[in-house]
Amino acid sequence: MPIFQYVVLNQKGKTLSSLYLADSKNEVIDELNRRGNYLVSIHEIEKIPRIKKISSTKIYQLTEEIHLFLKAKIPLFDAIKNIQKKQTDKNLQILLIALLDEMKKGKLFSEALKGYPKLFDPVYQAIVKAGEESGNLQASMCALKEILGKSLQVQKKVAAQLAYPKILAFISFLLIVGVLTFLVPSFKELIDAKKNSGISKMVFDLSDALLAYPHFFVLGIFSFISMMFVLKKTTIYQKQAEKIKLEWFPFKNFYIPSIFLRFSMVFETLLEASIPIIDALKNVKQVIGHPLIEKEIDRMIEKMKEGSKFSHALKNTQYIPDLICQIILSRDETGDYLQAFKMIRGIYEEELEKNLQQLSTYIQPVMFLLLGFIIGLIILSVLVPLTDATNFQI
């Protein structure tokens, strides 16, 4: 199906450039005239432009819109086409045109999604495919909307709780630099530097270095940030960081609940779509985002292929909580794992919410105490020499 690129002047006199998928150029012109736009230029393009990064929020909004159209009994192709027509985000518009183009060639929606694994993970594709096979794509898009919405909600809550400590840490850094740059030098003029020792000498020397070589100070900060950025890419750092997230307090208090909340939500949706447990585990593994847990899921899959029950496969895992094992064990006889994962999801939603509230309660006084200690130490190192009369310069 031809793809046209056009430039128009809208009713406000603003120039807009966009793409349109249509059977002919006249169809595009008629549509643009209907919208009240003045056509500047239009031409057919041979290749769909490269799609840049699209945020998870945009993907969630797209999923929500598709669900609403399907709920209104509008066919999927027409739904995506309607969304594409009113879309203002260029990258999302290109994506929708690419999907429409694939579907026009006879591909299913789930097959078209496979060309964009970074935007639509295997779980997204699996749930869409299950909806297509069951003939209830609307329910699948509703489930995906819920999963993406909950994930975004968790991310926003964590980001909001961590924003204040980051801002406070930055302000504290500026405050310490200000004290060393302006306050300490004014006291130094009153004190005989030769008689200073210990922490006082260290503070005065640091202040002198900061004033004498500010460019080296800035370069040192830049070098440290660059070194940390490079270090994060190394395999050794990543392995240690993943262990810390799962084993060290307070990281595990937020990381473990968020992982298994996502784990239970996705598993619940896949089971509702009648996807077998082993296939569900394979899909869930793709969205865990943690190598150590992914390896444990691989071992679980192998055990279940050998004939083990779900609860037995969960046993002796290092990072999967005992709580999940106990709940699954209680459902082994009936095989009602769907209710089990609904229960697990509820538990981890409450735990994550509680941990976030505790973070906001404790982190502020801790940050203030730390800042007070550092500033107090600097001030004390300056005031102590002032108490010794022999230190004054005459």
pLDDT in tens, 292-340: 888 888 888 888 888 888 888 888 778 888 888 888 888 877 778 888 8
The Cα 38–Cα 7 span in angstroms is: 9
Residue 76 pLDDT class (50, 70, 90 cuts):
very high
Q: 348: Cβ–Cβ under 8 A, 6 or more apart, which residues?
A: 257, 260, 261, 264
117: preceding bond cis by omega (within 30 degrees)? no
Whether 191 and 234 share a structural domain:
yes
Whether 61 and 203 share a structural domain:
no
Whether 99 and 208 share a structural domain:
no
Residue 380 CA to chain centroid, in angstroms? 43
Whether 300 and 188 share a structural domain:
yes
User: Is residue 334 in some structural domain?
Assistant: yes
Look at residues 156, 158, 128 and name the one whose alpha carbon lies nearest to residue 142: 128
Whether 134 and 267 share a structural domain:
no
Residue 79 vs residue 191, higher pLDDT = 79
Is 208 a residue whose pLDDT tops 90? no
The Cα 232–Cα 243 span in angstroms is: 14
Whether 232 and 380 share a structural domain:
yes
For the chain, give me the number of helices (H) and strands (E)? Answer: 17, 3
Whether 289 and 385 share a structural domain:
yes
User: Is residue 204 in some structural domain?
Assistant: yes
Each residue's pLDDT tens digit, 85-104 = 888 788 888 899 889 888 98
Q: Domain containing 22: what range?
A: 3-45
Each residue's pLDDT tens digit, 157-186 = 777 777 777 787 788 888 888 888 887 777
User: Is residue 51 in some structural domain?
Assistant: no
Least confident of 142-146, 275-279, 375-379: 375-379
User: Is residue 208 in some structural domain?
Assistant: yes
Question: In the prediction, which pLDDT does 394 show?
Answer: 47
pTM, full prediction: 0.70
User: Is residue 50 in some structural domain?
Assistant: no
CATH label of the domain that carries residue 110: 1.20.81.30
Retrieve residue 40's tokens.
């500047």
Look at residues 262, 12, 242 and name the one whose alpha carbon lies nearest to residue 146: 262
Residue 223 vs residue 377, higher pLDDT = 223
User: Is residue 298 in some structural domain?
Assistant: yes
Only one residue has tokens 């950025």, namely: 229
Whether 190 and 78 share a structural domain:
no
User: Is residue 162 in some structural domain?
Assistant: yes
Whether 134 and 229 share a structural domain:
no
Q: How many distinct structural domains can be found in the chain? A: 3
Whether 158 and 183 share a structural domain:
yes
Whether 25 and 144 share a structural domain:
no
Question: In the prediction, which pLDDT does 386 show?
Answer: 64
Whether 142 and 157 share a structural domain:
no
